[in-house]
Structure 1
């Protein structure tokens, strides 16, 4: 379905470009930056400089972010809050997310065209570093699911990225299992 000229005009009229080059839409600022810049700044450089010692900090911050999302989306239930996260992650350009399995003790999802995986893999290879899983969506998912697990008195989930574009896989895959 294509938009009519009037709808397109109304949309464009709501856009504003600031002096510093930011795009503003309905009073919200959007920044467009090469994916390499985001990936290198947030993940690849800290991994290069500090190695695995930064992973627990990333994990804790992202799990806590997932919990905050779950509190906000509590009315949707565990699956609804999780699916909302995947949809938002897809729509913001971090890769197309697909829920492959959602069971009581195991959840599997995939990210195709992962921004982090592709760019971090390229960066690691260009620096002669061994590629490793770098994507963070599993930790956010862990936080979301564990918020609901605690409320239900069930064992917690633990996330593992079993495939990653950074390592040359076709897509990133996350497996979350209870009590592992």
Structure 2
């Protein structure tokens, strides 16, 4: 997989960490991303993305592998269009609110879909991740809002009303 091109849709926390993992653990040289949100595109560059697109229309490459991290049907469709014949899509997105739909490209290209599972050695990954995190301070940028636990109710109200929209909230219990 190291010499193959990979496309990730969605640069939320799952997409950013997928990009980071592919670049710095697996050693994939060519990881591109699709993310409509400008702030998230800027983070994607720090996390190792080579080419960063804000829409599928900009994509000029084709890919062997795709990771669906956007939790949107448009992101899933983008992967089906951008993958080579016999390409593989891994669905990592969290909290899908819409059904992901297979399009004609899926069948024509004979694509495969795999999902994430608990088959991975999480302890091995955690050991690696916590060794690397000290060398990569930009990972902390995922936490875009800091609160004390006493402000949890207010934080959820602001999230629900769209007043704040951070990738992750850091909650201090001190």
Give the TM-score category using the shorter length: under 0.3
TM-score w.r.t. length of structure 2:
0.23
- TM-score, length basis structure 1: 0.22
Query: Which of the pair is proportionally richer in helix?
Result: 1
From the CA coordinates, give the structure whose radius of gyration is larger.
1
Q: Which has the higher contact order (CA 8 A, sep 6+)?
A: 1
